[in-house]
Amino acid sequence: MTLLGTASAMPVKGRNQSAQALNLHGRLFLIDCGEGTQYRMVEERIPMMKLDSVFLSHIHGDHVFGIFGLLSTLGMKGRQTPLNIFAPVNFGPILKFFLSYYGDGLAYEIRFTPLKMKAPETILETKSIEVRAFPLNHGIETFGFRFAEKEPPFNVRKEAIEQYGLTLTEIGTLKRGEDVLRADGSRIPASEAAYKPFVPRSYAYCSDTAPFAEEAEWLRGTTVIYHEATYMQELADQGARRHHSTTLQAAKAALEAGAEKLLIGHYSSRSGEAKAYEAECRSVFPETFATSDGDIYQI
C-alpha cells in the first residue's frame, strides 16, 4: 500500500490530499482521489493504466477533486478496459456531469456501483479476496472499506507425496484440509502432509469519521487499520463538531478491534508534526505509525 496523500482539506506543503494505492493479489486499487492524485501516481510510479477499481469514501472535495483529471488521463492514454468505481449514491450526479461534458472519446466503460448500505456488505469478491464497505459517521454519506484475503487452500508437502505415493484424489482431499483414510485403514493426517501457505491478511480504510458504536465490531481482527486522526486530543471539541476523530479516538478503535497495527493520517493543517500525533496514539495503542506521503507499507 502506497500513501499518495495524507493531508485533510487544506493544502499543506509536502502533503497531498487523501489517496492510497493498494496492490492486492495483482489487482491495483485506488482508495480516494484527492486533488493532484494522478500527479502523485506518476511520482510514485503507480501504473494508473492498470487500475482495477476506485473506492471513494465520500464526496467532500479533498477526497474526490482528483477524479476528473484521472478519468480524463486514462482516456487520453487509450484505456479500453472497464474501470470500476465504488462510491456513495450522491457521487452519481458528479459522474454524470463529468461524462456529459468530458466523456466524449472515452474508449473505456466506467462501471459505477452506488453504496447505500447500513451495515458491512461485500461489494467485490474474487477467488482470493473480498472487499466490504461499511458506513462511517461523518455527517454525510461516507463509507469505509475493508480489503481481506480469503483462507487459502492447503498446500501438500512434496515429501509427503513421495513418502505416501499420494494419488490425485488424495492430494485433493489434503488440499481441503481433510485427512486421507485409505482402504487398509491407515490414515494420513492433513496436519502432517499439508500446510497453509499464509495466514490471511486484511486492511481497513476509515476516513473520515467520528467514533461510532459499531466501529470496533466491524473492524474486528483486521491486520492493519488506516484511521483518520485529524485532530490531536486538545482539539477534541472541533473533531466532534466536524465529525472527525482525534488521535486517542483512532487509537481506541484499533485497540478495541484487536488490530496488529494502526496507521494514522488526514492531519489538520493547523496541527504540528505527525510524530506528535503518533505519540498521543501510542499512549493508547503502541503499534501506531504516523504516515507521510510516499510511505509504502507491506500489510
32 is catalytic: no
Cell of 59: 464526496
pLDDT score for 272: 65
The third-level CATH classification (topology) of the domain covering 2-152+198-290 is Metallo-beta-lactamase; Chain A (3.60.15)
Chain mean pLDDT for the chain: 96
User: Per-residue pLDDT averaged across 72-91, rounded?
Assistant: 98
Q: Catalytic: which of 32, 52, 62, 104?
A: 62
The size of the chain, in residues, is: 299
Return the domain boundaries, the chain: 2-152+198-290, 155-195
Which runs of consecutive H residues, i.e. helices, occur in 44-131? 61-64, 67-76, 92-102
Task: Report in angstroms the alpha-carbon separations of 262 from 30, 60, 271.
Answer: 20, 24, 20
pLDDT in tens, 220-272: 999 999 999 999 999 999 999 999 999 999 999 999 999 999 999 999 987 66
pLDDT in tens, 167-217: 999 999 999 999 999 999 999 999 999 998 999 999 999 999 999 999 999
